[in-house]
């Protein structure tokens, strides 16, 4: 298996409380990896270690390694903004930036000084298409992003994340705030995108996991109980706790 | 990339500098006031009223101003409390989220920003129309107006923090709103209410512009509600206005005494509310 | 837990008879009415302030028009000449200098506290700002006279005069050190706790998800602040600054003690000025002895009140929308 992200003896703490315990994982390239488990099991914490978001919370601590393409992202001299550029994020709720639709997508490109003028316009269009939003907003690119419906906003956030050309796409229950149709929209996008990006998705919806996952990680109380190809885990779980969870006993 | 990291560090540096500048200004002010105020400070300053020739540099003290200020601020705070407590309860318990409550809050916020000199002028007009002259009562009324918005808004903030279900539980037992306010809510919010009272008292005792018109000034101890009364801020101000260095020295000492009182009140209220809230939450 | 305790407290209610021997229902109706009428006091008070000052200002309009008052440059009470322009100009100058000095420092401090500082630093800052806000106006004045005025007189003014003196704005026409600059510095420190506290609250009201949305595409923290957080907060920050300015505008004693009090139209930041509050405070003693003088001073108070009211109403309305309150 071709591992894109790898964690080695990863531990995370909120103050003195451990949130992740000795996590050793390999996340395969260009597949959808779904991290599932009951709430409070550390799945969002694990996701946050991959784009170094955990350190934004006061009092958090980490030990162990997280490698992206074999490089330790917590190593010396690593530029955190480069890491975050590499790993796009789709949050629980869409947070459009307080600017126009166009500027939202162009934001990362401008920050990283990647594209200008005509090229920028093309990039914005390309990524809005990628997120399946172009047809709906092409006539009002200059209007504020907050005017979009919440489902459209989430796709805008997807376009914004894709614009800086990440390798990874991290989704933290990205459909939990959306209506069923918008959620379906996002899921379809993710399936379309998995050939080009490595996607890591946190969800507590079992059916969503089954619909999307190529590779599954099951967590419980900060530990990885079981991980493996989706079919294997769903059809013949090796661990008792995984089986119990899949049967809905949590 | 280098440029971006430089910009980040550059602005972070500026921010830390600004923050330290603000933090150190308090130390700077206290340092100056203590340095200049301490030399002339002695027991007689605190325990005597001005004797003949005091303003030429002869013997005496500022006891008249210390006592006067306590009377003024004490009276003003009491009056503000009598008016402010019902307002805070009305806004916070009786009719939360009503249009009236919004209007009252808005007016309190606006009054909070009205300069004290304007309250002074208003108090002066009030006194003229009632045929009063500069007196303790005039000063108390003016200070009460000044303190009312500060105190009420502070109380409102703590009353708002009271969980809604606590009130509901009280209503469910058949208590009236008055009973709920004065028996349930007041117990929960007592530390906050005391803090609000001390905050207002501190603001009142330090204010000069409002009592300038209304309380007058006298070298004697306060005689009665309708007699003029001295105050510490004005003692500082008037003594600075004399041409004699000895008297100016005493102004610095008076400023030190005033600062000391205000800081004690501010720190004390913080300490007290920390202590009391520990008991309130059991 | 809380509810349990409350229940115990409440059980004792019905046994106690009310003092007035009214039934609980009618007592409730009475206190309802009483509390409502007391609560209307603040609303009435604003109207009363304006009305009273307006009525007391009226006599002056018998001899002068509004425009000659506001734009008149001579102040000669005995000749019944009451031109407010020098005082209005003084107020504007001192307030502007104070805001120019204070606003950048306050914004950076508030951003530092909200976005960068560790929780321990934040907990120290709150009492520190409270103390700074609690120091009485006259004490600020004493500090200004003892520390700021000599510094301006001996170091700052000569320095500026030497290097920038060819610009009228920085020319030293007044060697005493008492002047607009001194007033501005003192006011800048006095309004700092307000502006910092309000800005801090406005910044805290920005949802973290918005910051993370920007950080997630690889923006630095400063870029996030500059492009996202500040853009989101701009109305609130402006409202906070306006509120700070309205405090500076009405501040009396501290300014009065360091600003020089010369009724003139200033041209340099080192000139003496005579702001409106200082005018009122300095002359209250004589105002009843000269005809129309009291009306003129009440007029000065009225101008001050109206400007402050407009500033406060606007910023309060904006802030109440953002953070739900303005009180710090």
Residue B86 within any structural domain of the chain = yes
Using alpha carbons only, what angle is made at residue C62 by residues C60 and C63, rounded to the nearest 5 degrees?
80
Q: In what order do the strands lie in the sheet with A17-28?
A: A17-28, A3-14, A60-68, A71-72
Q: What is the dihedral of CA B94, B100, B106, B108, to 10 degrees?
A: -60
- Kindly state whether A77 is in contact with chain B, defined as any CB-CB distance less than 8 angstroms: no
* C149-165 per-position pLDDT tens digit: 999 999 999 999 889 88
C positions 269-308 inside 8 Å of B (CB): 277, 280-281, 284, 297-298, 301, 304-305, 308
Q: Which two tokens stand for residue C312?
A: 């406060």
Residue A40: per-residue pLDDT = 82
Q: What pLDDT shows up at residue A10? A: 92
pLDDT per residue as tens digits for the range C110-135: 999 999 998 888 888 888 998 999 99
Q: Are the beta carbons of A99 and A107 closer than 8 angstroms?
A: yes
Count CA within 13 A, CB hemisphere, residue B278. Answer: 5
Residue A177 CB contacts under 8 Å (≥ 6 apart), including other chains? A92, A93, A94, A150, A154
**Which candidate, C113, C136, C115, places its Cα nearest to that of C125?**
C113
Mutate to test the interface with A, among B1, B2, B5 (most CBs of A within 10 A): B1
Determine the distance from the C-alpha atom of residue C178 to the mean position of all C-alpha atoms in its chain, rounded to a whole number: 22
**Burial track A79-107 (b if 16+ CB lie within 10 A, e otherwise):** ebbebbbbbbbbbbbbbbbbbbbbbbbbb
**Total count of domains within chain B:** 1
pLDDT, mean of each 10-residue run, chain A (250 residues): 85 90 91 90 91 89 90 88 91 92 93 88 93 92 92 93 92 90 91 92 90 92 90 89 84
* Of B74 and C66, the one with more pLDDT: B74
Strands annotated E in chain A:
3-14, 17-28, 32-36, 60-68, 71-72, 87-90, 168-172, 198-203, 215-220, 223-229
* CB nearest C52 (choices: B125, B165, B258): B125
Q: Cα(B230)–Cα(C23) distance, rounded to whole angstroms?
A: 47
Domain count, chain C: 1
More confident residue, A177 or B15: B15
Q: Pairing state of beta strands A168-172 and A3-14? A: unpaired
- With 50 as the cut, is the pLDDT of residue B34 above it? yes
A198-203 and A32-36: which strand pairing? parallel
**pLDDT value of position C21:** 54
**pLDDT score for B43:** 86
Query: Average model confidence (pLDDT) for chain C?
Result: 87
DSSP 8-state assignment for residue A45: H
Residue C203 near residue C111 (C-beta atoms within 8 A): yes
Which residues, including other chains, have CB under 8 Å from residue B204's CB and lie 6 or more apart?
Answer: B72, B73, B76, B77, B80, B143, B146, B147
Residue C269 has pLDDT above 60, yes or no: yes
In a domain, C106, yes or no: yes
Fold for A3-99+166-246, please state it. Answer: Rossmann fold (3.40.50)
Cα atoms found within 13 Å of the Cα of residue B85, Cβ hemisphere only:
17
CA dihedral B194, B197, B201, B207 (to 10 degrees): 140
Query: Coil, helix or strand for A59?
Result: coil
Any domain includes B134: yes
In a domain, C298, yes or no: yes
- For chain A, the helix, strand and coil percentages under 3-state DSSP, each to the nearest 5: 40, 30, 35
Sign of the alpha-carbon torsion through A135, A139, A142, A146: negative
pLDDT at A197: 92
Maximum Cα interatomic distance, chain C, rounded to a whole number of Å: 83
Q: Residue B247 has which token pair? A: 């008297």
Å between A186 CA and nearest CA of chain C: 18
Annotate B222-261 with three-state secondary structure. Answer: CCCCCCCCCCHHHHHHHHHHCCCHHHHHHHHHHHHHHHHH
- pLDDT over 50 (residue C327): no
Residue B218 φ then ψ, to 5°: -150, 155
Q: What percent of chain B has pLDDT over 90?
A: 44
Tell me what pLDDT residue C4 has: 44
Residue C114 located in a structural domain: yes
Closest residue in A to C216 (Cα) is A84
- Find the mean pLDDT for residues C94-105: 96
Residues of chain C with C-beta less than 8 angstroms from the C-beta of B15:
108-109, 111-112, 116
Optimal mutation site among C132, C142, C318, interface B, most CBs of chain B within 10 A: C142
- Tracing tokens 């914490």 back to the chain, one arrives at A45
N-term to C-term CA, chain A: 31
CA dist list (Å): A19 to A9, A72, B243, B250, C124: 13, 20, 70, 62, 29
Residue of B nearest to C306 (CA): B114
Q: What residues make up the domain containing B154?
A: 64-280
Q: Residue B255 is part of a domain; what is its CATH number?
A: 1.10.3720.10
Average pLDDT of chain B? 87
Q: Closest by alpha carbon to C134, among B268, B34, B118?
A: B268
């Amino acid at each position: 298996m071709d591992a894109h992200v790898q964690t080695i003896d990863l531990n995370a703490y909120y103050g003195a409380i451990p949130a992740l315990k000795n996590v050793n994982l390999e996340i395969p390239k260009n597949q959808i990896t779904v991290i599932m488990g009951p709430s409070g099991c550390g799945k969002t914490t694990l996701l946050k270690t991959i784009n170094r978001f955990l350190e934004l919370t006061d009092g958090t601590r980490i030990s162990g390694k997280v490698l992206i393409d074999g490089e330790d992202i917590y190593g010396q001299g690593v530029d955190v903004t480069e890491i975050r550029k590499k790993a796009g994020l789709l949050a629980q709720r869409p947070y459009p930036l307080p600017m126009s639709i166009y500027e939202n997508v162009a934001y990362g490109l401008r920050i990283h000084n990647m594209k200008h003028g005509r090229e920028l316009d093309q990039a914005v269009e390309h990524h809005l298409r990628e997120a399946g939003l172009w047809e709906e907003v092409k006539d009002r690119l200059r209007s504020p992003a907050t005017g979009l419906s919440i489902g459209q906003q989430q796709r805008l956030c997807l376009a914004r994340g894709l614009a800086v050309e990440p390798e990874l796409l991290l989704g933290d229950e990205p459909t939990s705030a959306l209506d069923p149709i918008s959620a379906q929209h996002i899921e379809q996008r993710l399936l379309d995108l998995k050939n080009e990006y490595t996607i890591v998705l946190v969800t507590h919806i079992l059916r969503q996991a089954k619909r999307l996952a190529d590779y599954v990680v099951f967590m419980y109380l900060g530990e990885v109980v079981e991980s493996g190809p989706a079919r294997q885990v769903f059809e013949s779980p090796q661990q008792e706790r995984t089986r119990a969870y899949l049967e809905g006993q949590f | 990339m280098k440029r971006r990291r430089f910009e980040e560090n550059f602005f972070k540096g500026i921010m830390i500098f600004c923050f330290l500048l603000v933090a150190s200004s308090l130390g700077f002010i206290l340092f100056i006031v203590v340095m200049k105020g301490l030399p002339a400070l002695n027991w007689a300053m605190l325990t005597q009223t001005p004797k003949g020739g005091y303003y030429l540099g002869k013997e005496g003290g500022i006891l008249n101003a210390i006592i006067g200020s306590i009377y003024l601020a004490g009276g003003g705070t009491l009056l503000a409390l009598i008016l402010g407590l019902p307002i805070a309860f009305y806004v916070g318990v009786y009719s939360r989220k009503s249009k009236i409550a919004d209007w009252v809050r808005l007016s309190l916020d606006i009054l909070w920003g009205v300069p004290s000199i304007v309250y002074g002028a208003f108090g002066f007009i009030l006194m003229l129309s009632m045929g009063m002259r500069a007196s303790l009562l005039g000063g108390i009324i003016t200070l009460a107006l000044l303190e009312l918005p500060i105190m009420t808004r502070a109380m409102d903030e703590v009353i708002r923090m009271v969980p809604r279900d606590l009130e509901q539980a009280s209503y469910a037992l058949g208590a009236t709103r008055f009973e709920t306010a004065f028996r349930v809510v007041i117990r929960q919010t007592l530390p906050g209410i005391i803090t609000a009272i001390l905050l207002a008292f501190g603001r009142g005792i330090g204010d000069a512009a409002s009592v300038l018109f209304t309380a007058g000034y006298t070298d004697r101890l306060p005689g009665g509600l309708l007699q003029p009364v001295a105050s510490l801020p004005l003692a500082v101000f008037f003594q600075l206005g004399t041409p004699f260095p000895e008297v100016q020295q005493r102004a610095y000492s008076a400023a030190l005494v005033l600062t000391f009182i205000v800081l004690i009140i501010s720190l004390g209220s913080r300490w007290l509310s920390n202590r009391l809230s520990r008991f309130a939450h059991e | 837990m809380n509810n349990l305790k409350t229940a115990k407290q409440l059980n004792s209610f019905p046994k106690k008879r009310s003092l007035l021997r009214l039934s609980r229902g009618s007592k409730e109706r009475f206190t309802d009415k009483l509390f409502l009428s007391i609560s209307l006091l603040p609303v009435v008070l604003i109207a009363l302030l304006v009305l009273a000052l307006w009525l007391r200002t009226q006599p002056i309009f018998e001899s002068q028009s509004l425009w000659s008052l506001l734009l008149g440059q001579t102040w000669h009470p005995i000749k019944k000449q009451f031109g407010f322009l020098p005082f209005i100009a003084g107020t504007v100058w001192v307030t502007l200098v104070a805001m120019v000095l204070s606003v950048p420092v306050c914004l950076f401090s508030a951003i530092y506290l909200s976005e960068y500082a560790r929780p321990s630093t934040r907990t120290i800052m709150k009492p520190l700002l409270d103390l700074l806000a609690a120091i009485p106006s006259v004490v600020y004045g004493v500090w200004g006279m003892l520390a700021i005025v000599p510094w301006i007189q001996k170091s700052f003014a000569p320095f500026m005069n030497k290097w920038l003196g060819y610009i009228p704005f920085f020319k030293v026409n007044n060697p005493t050190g008492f002047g607009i600059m001194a007033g501005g510095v003192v006011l800048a420190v006095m309004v700092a706790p307000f502006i910092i506290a309000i800005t801090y609250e406005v910044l805290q009201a920005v949802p973290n998800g918005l910051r993370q949305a920007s950080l997630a595409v690889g923006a630095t923290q400063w870029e996030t602040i500059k492009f996202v957080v500040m853009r989101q907060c701009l109305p609130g920050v402006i409202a906070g600054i306006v509120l700070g300015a309205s405090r500076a505008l009405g501040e009396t004693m501290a300014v009065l003690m360091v600003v020089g009090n010369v009724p003139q139209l200033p041209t340099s930041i080192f000139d003496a000025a005579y702001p409106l509050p200082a005018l009122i405070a300095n002359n209250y003693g004589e105002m009843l002895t000269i005809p129309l003088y009291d009306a003129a001073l009440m007029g000065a108070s009225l101008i001050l009140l109206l400007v402050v009211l407009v500033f406060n109403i606007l910023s309060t309305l904006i802030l109440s929308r953002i953070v739900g309150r303005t009180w710090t």
